[in-house]
Structure 1
Amino acid sequence: MSTTLTDARVVTPGGVHEGWLTVEDGRLTHIGRGRAPGAGESLGGRHVVPGFVDIHTHGGAGASFPSGDQEQARRAADFQARHGTTTIMASLVTASIADLSRATAALAELCDDGLLAGVHLEGPYIAPSRRGAHDPGLLRHPSPGELSGLLRAGRGHVRMVTVAPELPGGLETVRAAVSEGVIAALGHSDATYDQAREGIEAGCTVATHLYNALPPLHHRDPGPVAALLEDPRVTVELINDGVHAHPAMLRLAVSAAGASRAVLVTDAMAAAGMGDGTYRLGSMDVDVTGGTATLVDGGAIAGSTLTMDTAFRRAVQDVGLTLEQATEMASHTPARILGIDSFTGSITVGHQADLVVLNDDLTVHRVMRRGAWLPAA
């Protein structure tokens, strides 16, 4: 089946141009400039960007990936897809090793089906002093042997693990992850600048939600944020919801790292798309008021209620990034991190037809995943 989308402002790796594109059997087969050579479905001059790739999210629509429940995972992925996230990696939070193994094994089956792009273990190998919304009673020192068991449960689908490298066993666990082809992310850490550098040298190539759950920048004690921003091997996650970081700090990160080393993530929890109330994030109770999620006990920020379309829109309208920068950060850079940029993450001939059609105000008009239009959000 062939579909031609006409009268579009297409955001490609080469820039933005007025034109058209053709979808056949779920893939992009033609991308043209100007008027389409034949009839097609008009997009009314709207922007078309590649489907968003979220490498850090815990759920949405009242459903949670950390639950390990496949039906909840399907519901969360479907919700986020209707907001433009056509590729999603499921993030777990700190739990017992037995519960993490169970959840990882269950989600791995959804990776087999192509619903998920992988599993991210955000805990339990994180610093108690920077635990955020993770259960302090379940935190553990990093262990290469223990991690190996979790990777076996995931059958190759665990794609990323967050580690505080300053903890006993931290550097060894980073090296063990990288040796298995797993992305090592530095996060929820109290590392000094030098300890962060050691983590990077050991193999950390991603910063889990930069700024959050890390010591702040200081001119005499730069800490891990400076180490992560200045190293060309590291890509930094940014939660652009107006709560986790001020727009000026996002501009600073993009100025230092560039759109090729910065990714927009949601860190969304089950409350995304829902009203105010009390929800669960792993074993922790979370209160959501005015769209902001905080722990009932202690008040720490507990993930977000963000969706990628909102993160993208804020990047342009509030942070002041260009459409091309926001597209790179929401789609191409995270696809490259996951090693899937050969078939998604940009509007390129031969790629999957993963597309987000945006209105003039950058709200979502329609979403196409693998050549099929999704129901409206």
Structure 2
Amino acid sequence: MIRAIHYATGGQIAISMEQGIITGIEAVPEAAPDKDALPIAAPGLVDLQINGYAGLDFNQLPMPESLLSDAVTRLWSQGVTACYPTVITNRADVIHKLLGQIARACDEDPIAARGIAGIHLEGPFISPQDGARGAHALEYVMAPDWELFCRWQEAAGGRIGIVTISPEWPGSASFIRSCADSGVTVSIGHTSATPDQIREAAQAGARMSTHLGNGAHLMLPRHPNYIWEQLAQDMLSSCVIADGFHLPDQVLKVVIKVKGKQAMLVSDAVSLSGLEAGTYTTHIGGQVVLTPEGRLHLAENEKILAGSAQMLLAGIEHLTGRGLAELAEAWDMASVRPATVMKLPSAGGLEAGAPADLVLFRREGSRIRIEQTYKGGERVYSKS
């Protein structure tokens, strides 16, 4: 049994777990003398878009045998109990190999299998236009191809749970409908689609927006444009990167207000996240600089970001520290809400009957310090 403070109610609770399930959460009398000594308990974090962590790159070939289990183990220290390794735009055969390697790791490595809820395929069915394409390689961008996607899904052992596409391509609606019918969540991103194409995509079954406001042109029409349209579509949940660098606070505030419980956080972290500040060479952005503040930019132009180097915790800290969201809402944006969209068992959150995927932490101002992480009722990380 774990005694803690409930992250949403602020009340003292006693959590009991058995066979990987939360069997009970009981209120503890507020008169208990050691309230200030108790950690805060919250559901485990779910990262729908992560490219790597602590020098471990999910788009690396060949992929070292223990890479995924090492990443999962390190992510537990960040409170992440489920993640979607993200494979980005590349040659078709390279994507096939990467997906196969992730699938084999999940089949053969119990740690990888426990931490990986699915795979996020970000591209290559995205916009070829500069700006909208972001850092994705133009030479590998292509129109949606259902037969090719099916071959990739077979290589992945059916684990592709999310695919990011731009619905600007002819035939996109048919592709989206086929994905949705097969249980794959379609997310709109890296797009230069018209509002009509966005609406058609949502009607065909698209349900998310990938890092809304990023992977976009520097200049857009006042209105209409594809950002306004995605915000306006009630069927689309919005994922945002709230690291303090990718989006201004005003944009984050608008997304949270407009989308409500459909607003979610992703890290979109690259493999340099968790490393010391310095200059690095990457296979995508070339030479990049990671600042002491956690901002990652091109070495040749500090105004151009080279990806995210912050974890979900940083997004929660930013939202709460800037007064954009209370702790419970910010935490749900990175845990219960993404789990709900992906229909994961952990969507139950911190409730009896839900999987015992939970985190114990303390707050120091706006900073969050993870003390323990539990996965399926087993303590998989302890600060001590």
TM-score, with structure 1 as normaliser: 0.89
Deviations 1:50-99 (A, max 9, x none): 11000010010100111262422222222222101011111111111111
Per the TM alignment, residue 306 of structure 1 is displaced from its structure 2 partner at its CA by: 0.9
Tell me if 1:9 matches 2:5.
Answer: yes
Tell me if 1:53 matches 2:46.
Answer: yes
CA contact (8 A) 1:65 1:76 kept: no
Q: Within 2, Cα distance between the matches of 1:150 and 1:140?
A: 15
Equivalent position amino acid for 1:363 in 2: R
CA contact (8 A) 1:143 1:170 kept: no
CA contact (8 A) 1:215 1:223 kept: no
Q: Within 1, Cα distance between the matches of 2:49 and 2:133?
A: 16
Q: Within 1, Cα distance between the matches of 2:69 and 2:215?
A: 29
Q: Within 1, Cα distance between the matches of 2:133 and 2:72?
A: 26
Deviations 1:267-319 (A, max 9, x none): 001001012222435x5435133032235687743321111222112221124
CA contact (8 A) 2:46 2:82 kept: yes
Partner of 1:73: 68
Q: Within 2, Cα distance between the matches of 1:24 and 1:172?
A: 45
Aligned residues: 365
Higher alpha-carbon deviation: 129-138 or 202-211? 129-138
Root-mean-square deviation (CA, aligned residues, Å) is 2.5
Q: 1:85 aligns with which of 80, 105, 110?
A: 80
Percent identity, aligned pairs only, is: 26
Higher alpha-carbon deviation: 220-229 or 242-251? 220-229
The 5 Å alignment of 1:290-369 reads 290=291, 291-295=294-298, 300-340=304-344, 342-344=345-347, 346-361=349-364, 362-369=368-375
Equivalent position amino acid for 1:263 in 2: M
Q: Within 1, Cα distance between the matches of 2:151 and 2:228?
A: 33
CA contact (8 A) 1:251 1:319 kept: no
Aligned in 2, Cα 1:351/1:90: closer, same or farther, shift over 3 Å? same
Partner of 1:21: 15
CA contact (8 A) 1:216 1:223 kept: no
CA contact (8 A) 1:217 1:223 kept: no
The 5 Å alignment of 1:139-150 reads 139-150=141-152
CA contact (8 A) 1:238 1:263 kept: yes
SS across alignment from 2:115: coil
Higher alpha-carbon deviation: 236-245 or 347-356? 347-356
Equivalent position amino acid for 2:286 in 1: D
Partner of 1:231: 233
Partner of 2:110: none
Higher alpha-carbon deviation: 358-367 or 205-214? 358-367
